[in-house]
Structure formats: structure tokens, C-alpha cells
């Protein structure tokens, strides 16, 4: 239906779960499949947006017409995102970015000892919060995957990170969240509006999200 509503617009989508190296063969990661973000990239591209997908490791094929930039760590994702950010109209941050990374990566494979192993973790930069401070013309959209107090936590993130829309994602429900083909989300807006979508497959969620983006862009004056 909305085959060309985003013609002439540039979009940046992040997807997948970052991997933070511990040693040459191990990393700290998470269960993100990348599926939600890849679907968002596809939905934006379908509507005519010129779409760049900054992706942490994922098994998924690149949606046709989308340009993928592959990254591994949060720091690499940050660098790629900051490079493209000034030039885009739409940013959807659906990646599951590691909040912490090992302070140091061991140069050699860590050896097994009979005792506890302590790894110091340091905080990663919050890319979305940084974009929220920098944004000029961009419509900025964040995700919040929560296991408790979904709407309250999502509301707090929306305001703190200065996004134009936040997708609250209940990752405890069956058929929702990490690795699932379907998702159960609500859209939250800074003006207090909220849209609760029923469970549906991730491409359908992405198309609803895309339609909200079209509305948000229609309302912004350049």
C-alpha cells in the first residue's frame, strides 16, 4: 500500500546483538536474532527509503535493496551509526546493544583453573542516548526489551533518551521477543499516546512501525 511514501528519505536501522570479546575465541553476547531490526529495514525499504542496516552478527539474509554494514561490538556499532547519522531522516535502534563489555580482551585464550574467574566489566556508551542529544531533523526510534514493569521502564527510557517513539517489547511472553518469529509490542509517544498492538509476526510489526514513522515525518517541518 505505502509503496513510495518514504521516497527520497534516508533511514538507518540497527539490528542484532553485539558481541563483546573476552579472549580470541569467546565473547559476551545476548539472544537477539536480529529479526525485528531486519524486518524494520525491509519495511522501510519497501516504502522507498534509502536504507542502511548496521548489523551486529546475525544469520539472516540482507533484505533486498538494503545496504548492510556488519559490526561486532557496541563500540563498532557506535562508530558506524555516528558516521551515517548526520545524513539520515529516520533512525530505528532495534539492536540489542551490550550494556557492558570486558575491560580487557585477553590476548590468549583464557586457561581453565580450578578457581573462580573474575572478569571486570565496564559500561558501554549508550548510542541511543547520544543520538537523542545530537538529533536535529531525525525521527529517532528506540526499543525497550523488558522482563518486568514493561510500560513504566519504557516510558522512562523514552523520556531519558529523547526519542520520538519507543517500542516497548515484552520479552517474557511466549511468542514475543528474542528469537521469536512474532512479537508483542506497544508504541509509546512523548505526547502520551500509546498504541498496543496484538501479537503478530515481526514483519507486520515493522510495517506498523513504518506507518507511524510516515506520520511522524509528515508532522515535522524542515
Chain contacts with ligand C5P (rule: CB under 6 A)? 14, 74, 93, 95, 97, 99, 124, 126-128, 142-144, 157
The distance of closest approach from Cβ of residue 7 to ligand C5P in the complex, given in angstroms and rounded to an integer, is 26
4 is catalytic: no
Q: Closer CB to ligand C5P, residue 58 or residue 124?
A: 124
Q: Shortest gap between Cβ of 33 and ligand C5P (angstroms)?
A: 14
Burial code of 194-219, b = ≥16 C-beta within 10 A, e = fewer? Answer: eeeeebbebbbbbbbbbebbbebbee
CB of 192 to ligand C5P, least distance (A): 20
**Least CB distance to ligand C5P at residue 74 (A):** 5
Q: What is the chain's Cα-based Rg?
A: 18
Q: Give 24 or 125: the residue with its C-beta nearer to ligand C5P.
A: 125
Q: How far apart are CA 172 and CA 182, in angstroms?
A: 13
Catalytic residue among 30, 153, 162, 201: 30
What's the half-sphere exposure (Cβ side, CA atoms, 13 Å) at 186? 17
Q: Provide the 3-class DSSP secondary structure of residue 39.
A: helix
Residue in the block written with cell 528474542: 178
As annotated, the active-site residues are 30
Amino acid at each position: 500500500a505505502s509503496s513510495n511514501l518514504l521516497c527520497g528519505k534516508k533511514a538507518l536501522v540497527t539490528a542484532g546483538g553485539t558481541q563483546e570479546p573476552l579472549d580470541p575465541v569467546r565473547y559476551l553476547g545476548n539472544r537477539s536474532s536480529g529479526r525485528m531490526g531486519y524486518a524494520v529495514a525491509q519495511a522501510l525499504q519497501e516504502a522507498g527509503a534509502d536504507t542502511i542496516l548496521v548489523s551486529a552478527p546475525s544469520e539472516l539474509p540482507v533484505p533486498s535493496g538494503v545496504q548492510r554494514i556488519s559490526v561486532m561490538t557496541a563500540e563498532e556499532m557506535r562508530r558506524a551509526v555516528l558516521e551515517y547519522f548526520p545524513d539520515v531522516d529516520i533512525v530505528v535502534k532495534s539492536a540489542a546493544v551490550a550494556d557492558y563489555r570486558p575491560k580487557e580482551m585477553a590476548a590468549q585464550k583464557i586457561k581453565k583453573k580450578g578457581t573462580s574467574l573474575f572478569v571486570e566489566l565496564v559500561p558501554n556508551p549508550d548510542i541511543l542516548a547520544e543520538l537523542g542529544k545530537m538529533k536535529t531533523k531525525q525521527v529517532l526510534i528506540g526499543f525497550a526489551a523488558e522482563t518486568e514493569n514493561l510500560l513504566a521502564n519504557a516510558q522512562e527510557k523514552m523520556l531519558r533518551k529523547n526519542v520520538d517513539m519507543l517500542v516497548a517489547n515484552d520479552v517474557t511472553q511466549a511468542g514475543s521477543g528474542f528469537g521469536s518469529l512474532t512479537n508483542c509490542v506497544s508504541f509509546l509517544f512523548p505526547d502520551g499516546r500509546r498504541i498496543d498492538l496484538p501479537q503478530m509476526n515481526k514483519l507486520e510489526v515493522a510495517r506498523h512501525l513504518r506507518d507511524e514513522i510516515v506520520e511522524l515525518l509528515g508532522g515535522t517541518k524542515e
